[in-house]
Amino acid sequence: REQMILGPAHWMELAHYPIGKFYQDTGRVRDLNDLAHRDDLIDYYKAFTRKLKLENHIRTGTRITKISPALEKSKKTFIVHSIEQSTGKTKKYSCNHLVFAVGPRSVIRKLDVKGIQHKYVSSAYTHPNDYPGERVVVIGGGRSADWAAQELHDSGRSVVYVMRQEASSHLNLISASQYLPYYQRWSEILSSEQERMGLLYSSKVTSFERDGLVNITTPEGSVVVQADHAIVEIGGDPDYGLLSSFGDLTFHKKRDNFRFQLNQMVVNQATFESVDIPHLYAAGYIAEGTGLSVIGFHAGCFLIAGDILSKSAEAQ
């Protein structure tokens, strides 16, 4: 099954290999302004690594558990602690420069309420076919939750969408995002007699009962909804805990009306080097000043590469 990501294909391309060229090379007929499909995008990134002959430099199936300073007598700067997920074997890597690009959802947020362990409660949305039955509660408020609620609605489910945000905030996002097809669809849903889409703003789930009853607090009072499934799609945070050995970090609180909400590492804007940890570079969404599209990462990556090459030359 192909799951759409929530941005046009050309937003997600990397330098040196345009995604349009990848579509052409692989015989895929796609509009670059359409939302990219997950399967297409994974194949594109794999093709990118082959084209630049990067396969031997990538370690898959490896989870990083900690990043620590190297010993003072060492000629290296960092020690990266890892574990091979298939074998449980631990391994350490050392380096002089480190690019920290863990992404904005490396630690998935948890909804701390009673009953979250019940089988009808899912921690993330996948596909409408994974949720048989008629009644689904979606908890969230960001783009992923918007997509889940809309796709379930359009597949014939009755949806109750529970959001902490006020109605004005959500409606402003929909209005400002009409260049994206799924927000055009949201406008259609809201302007019609949307009998199967219940929107609960300024609300929160307080518990899940064993029999599918979901308790919700709203501005008008408490309500109970009978559900076949409940989907908790509340996003995640960067795993800054990996850097705990370096003490407190300086963050920039990135907040905008397009649901981009996370703490970004404060960096030197000329090099993207952390202001707290010399020789460590923040990349991607977690770098101060970076916006929503992957193509926007290019400027930062070029600056990072340039600074590492410059420092490496000076050290020789």
Q: What is the DSSP string of 38-82?
A: HHHHHHHHHHHHHHTT-GGG---SEEEEEEEEPPTTSS-SEEEEE
The whole-number pLDDT of residue 257 equals 63
Encoded tokens for 23:
């579509």
The letter for the amino acid at 18 is P
Domains of the chain (ranges plus CATH)? 4-51 (no CATH), 62-96 (no CATH), 97-107+239-316 (no CATH), 110-232 (3.50.50.60)
pTM of the model: 0.86
DSSP H or E segment with residue 299: helix 297-315
- Using an 8 Å Cβ cutoff, are 85 and 94 in contact? no
Q: Per residue of the chain (316 residues), give pLDDT as tens.
A: 546 676 788 888 888 899 999 999 999 999 998 888 888 999 999 999 999 999 999 999 999 999 999 998 889 999 999 999 999 999 999 999 999 999 888 999 999 999 999 999 999 898 999 998 999 999 999 888 999 999 999 999 999 999 999 999 999 999 988 988 889 999 999 999 778 999 999 999 999 999 999 999 999 999 999 999 999 999 889 999 999 999 999 999 987 666 678 899 999 999 999 999 999 999 988 999 887 667 667 778 999 999 999 999 998 8
What are the two backbone dihedrals, phi and then psi, of residue 255, each rounded to the nearest 5 degrees? -140, 130
Tens of pLDDT, residues 22-80 = 999 999 999 998 888 888 999 999 999 999 999 999 999 999 999 999 998 889 999 99
Vertex 181: Cα angle to 180 and 187 (nearest 5): 95
